[in-house]
A and B are shown apart, each in its own frame.
Chain A
Amino acid sequence: MNPHRRSPLVKIAAFLVYFFLYAPIVILVLYSFNASRVNVKFEGFIPNFSDTIEMDGSIVKASPCGPFHWYCDLAKNDDVIDAASNTLTIALTSTIIATIIGTMAALALQRYDFKIKPFSQLSLYIPIVIPEIVMGIGILSLFSQLFGWLNSALDLSGDARLSLGMATVTVSHIAFMVPFVTLVVQARLQGFDKSFEEAAMDLGANEWITFRRVTFPMILPGVLSGALLAFTLSLDDFVITFFTNGPGSTTLPIYVYGLLRRIVTPQVNALSTVWILIVFTAVVALQWIQSREQKPTAHS
């Protein structure tokens, strides 16, 4: 019996589901070349390099980018640039911190017995079983209470007043990312044979050298996939950011959401397309590096 035998029905169903997954994205990208400012209808592609283009019945001065009109428009939009840089700053900072403390927690939970272990393990499941919005408004309440109290207690005023911003978003992102990092690394550690570490110690390495030279390189793939997961969660997050951001800490999802409630030009589509391309390239590059590192040892 061929284990790869599949009924054609399964193939058709799989194809349809893939179609369902990709059709909206294709449309999204297509509309980024729309020769319409309103972007309600598809009015045809922006023509190749010409001085003027016809848009929604009127003649408009074309950008020098030809069909990539909306992409150039995007590059000139300072709000988008700011939002993008905020998003990346938050994602990078929170990923680094979450990966470090999450990996430490995974080691503790997998290797040691200690008093608060059941509590630590249980708290990891909170972001999985509780809707994000509940956490979001809870954190908002915490910050507004805390800042209100601190501002009056320390008699802060003007710019010194504590308020929502980059720091609150980052701190909150770490809170919901850490459990995912920990659970991923923990799953990796489950199959980790302790005799590797014992062998290192047996050969004269102390605890720290053992960790640096043996344990860490061996769990690195798990740590990396935990970090990658955390990073994409942060990039994708809307709800937590929505409740914890303040002036000057608008992220791309928040910015796009704001636009969608007002008027939408194909700029948003251009932004989406660039976004998809960047994330796609980053992930493919990471996978490639990882697979190249593992090639000589065909990781199980």
Chain B
Amino acid sequence: MSTEFAVELRDVVKKFVTPEGHELNAVDHVTMQIKNGEFFSMLGSSGCGKTTSLRMIAGFEWPSEGEVYIEGKAMGHTPPFQRKVNTVFQSYALFQHMTIFQNVAFGLEMEGVKEDEIKKRVGRALEMVQLSGMERRKPRQLSGGQQQRVALARSLVKTPSVLLLDEPLGALDLKLRKEMQLELKSLQQQLGITFIYVTHDQEEALTMSDRIAVMSKGKVQQMGTPVEIYERPANKFVADFIGESNFLEGKLKSISGNEAVVFVPILNAEVTGMPMAKDLVNGSDVTVAIRPEKIRVVENQSGAGVFKAKVGTSVYIGSDTHLYFDLNGTRLKVMEQNRISSLDPSTFYVKDEEVLFTFPPENTLILKKD
């Protein structure tokens, strides 16, 4: 039995019955392997199955089909209190009737750890999250950020092999969230514990994770490193959900290795790009995806691969300018970095001005049409 994986989900299905009586697969044949010491995120909008997956790892729910493995052991119907994983809840779930000390000590008490040992370890855990001296307070007397740290300390004091975090930063304000993201990441690296992190915030997932599983409708849409997910989205959903993308419809003309040529009617021209699916067939309908910052505006060029459009609106946002090109009624979003500082009006884009642009082939993705 391999213990290379901290947690493994094999073909897991979780069925729910909706209030109307329909059966629904909240988690639909999900398989994922989470390596030891990895910071792994499940990313998706609400109802995508990410929290249910996490709850099945924790043991709050049992799979309808398939199996969850923790350190190579099949979990079956093992109750949460017999699993070597701990959870940080979105609501923190701090016991309101206990002090901070009692909250953090609770898990050790359950293990039967001796009193002076508990004192030592709770003290260390609180020190780690910079809350020393708060032992005798009640959770309600702390700020949101502090409560979040207590929840973290309460789980980490048990030195779990895997820490499950369910949108732990969701209730914090933006600035605190950014701070905590970095802190969590460095804590994880320092302790070497596997983190499984559930979030709907793509920026958070991209910032912190070693690997991300993008989920939708109970299925894993793509699993990979942040760069892979952003630069090489596997399908239209991922391309659209992570960052921004322009989508153009076309017909595949030819494909060879890493190059596909697509005829795009709206440009009335051929576009060359990277095929993102293996089973693309000549003549089939495909979707061309390109991110706004990857489109290049050019001057005085012509020939194949150079397209023409009219400027619709341009929005100056400081670091960048967002341009909306009008392609015979279709909007194309383009982002340009403002590298040159200039107040000269002649350098600004004007409405209805004609512009030329190209799609760099290595950043133009040819996706299966869904």
Contacts and interface: CB of A to CB of B under 8 A. Distances in A.
Interface of A: 193, 195-196, 198-207, 209, 213-214, 217-218, 296-298
B150 to A, nearest CB: 11
Given A198-B87, A206-B81, A296-B138, A218 B96 contact: yes
Contact of B86 (A195, A202, A205, A209): A202
Interface string B117-139: 00000000000000000000010
Nearest to A203: B107
B50 interface: no
Interface-central residue, A201, A202, A213, by most chain B CB under 10 Å: A202
Given A202-B58, A207-B79, 18 more contacts: A195-B90, A195-B93, A198-B58, A198-B89, A199-B89, A200-B106, A201-B60, A202-B60, A202-B81, A202-B86, A202-B155, A203-B81, A203-B158, A204-B107, A206-B79, A206-B81, A296-B141, A297-B96
Q: What 9 A-B pairs have minimum CB-CB distances, sorted nearest first? A: A204-B110, A203-B107, A199-B93, A195-B93, A201-B80, A202-B87, A217-B97, A204-B81, A195-B89
Given A204-B110, A204-B111, A205-B81, A297 B91 contact: no
A201 B111 CA distance: 12
B349 interface: no
B138 to A, nearest CB: 5
B95 A214 contact: yes
Looking at chain B, what size class is its interface with the partner chain?
Answer: 20 to 34
A9 to B, nearest CB: 40
A214 B96 CA distance: 9
B164 to A, nearest CB: 8
A213 B97 CA distance: 10
Interface string B60-77: 100000000000000000
Contacts of A195: 89-91, 93
Given A202-B58, A202-B81, A203-B158, A297 B97 contact: yes
B97 A205 contact: no
A6 to B, nearest CB: 32
B244 to A, nearest CB: 34
A218 B97 contact: yes
Nearest to B96: A297
A201 B79 contact: yes
B138 A196 contact: no
Contact of B80 (A202, A213, A296): A202
B97 A198 contact: no
A195 B87 CA distance: 10
Interface of B: 58-60, 79-81, 85-87, 89-91, 93-97, 106-107, 110-111, 138, 140-141, 154-155, 158
Contacts of B80: 198, 201-202
A295 to B, nearest CB: 10
Contacts of A199: 87, 89, 93-95, 154
A198 B60 contact: yes
A244 B360 CA distance: 92
A198 B93 contact: yes
A214 to B, nearest CB: 6
A288 B137 CA distance: 22
Interface-central residue, B87, B96, B97, B154, by most chain A CB under 10 Å: B97
Contacts of B97: 217-218, 297
A209 B110 contact: yes
17 contacts: A193-B91, A193-B93, A196-B93, A198-B60, A198-B89, A199-B89, A201-B59, A201-B60, A201-B80, A203-B106, A203-B107, A204-B110, A205-B81, A205-B106, A207-B79, A297-B97, A298-B140
Contacts of B106: 200, 203, 205, 213
A298 B97 CA distance: 11
A195 B106 CA distance: 15
Contact of A201 (B81, B90, B158): B81
Nearest to A210: B81
B110 A205 contact: yes
Contacts of B141: 296
A194 to B, nearest CB: 9
Nearest to B102: A213
A196 B60 CA distance: 12
A214 B89 CA distance: 16
Contacts of A200: 95, 106
A207 B59 CA distance: 13
A165 to B, nearest CB: 42
A203 B79 contact: no
Nearest to B105: A203
A193 B95 CA distance: 11
A267 B325 CA distance: 96
Contacts of A214: 95
Interface-central residue, A200, A203, A205, by most chain B CB under 10 Å: A203
Nearest to A206: B81
A201 to B, nearest CB: 4
A207 B107 CA distance: 14
B289 to A, nearest CB: 39
A203 B96 contact: no
Contacts of B140: 297-298
A205 B59 CA distance: 13
A219 B336 CA distance: 58
A203 B154 contact: yes
A296 B140 CA distance: 9
B151 to A, nearest CB: 8
Contacts of B58: 198, 202
Contacts of A201: 59-60, 79-81
A198 B154 CA distance: 14
B263 to A, nearest CB: 54
Contacts of B107: 203-204
A199 B166 CA distance: 12
A90 B140 CA distance: 40
A296 B89 CA distance: 24
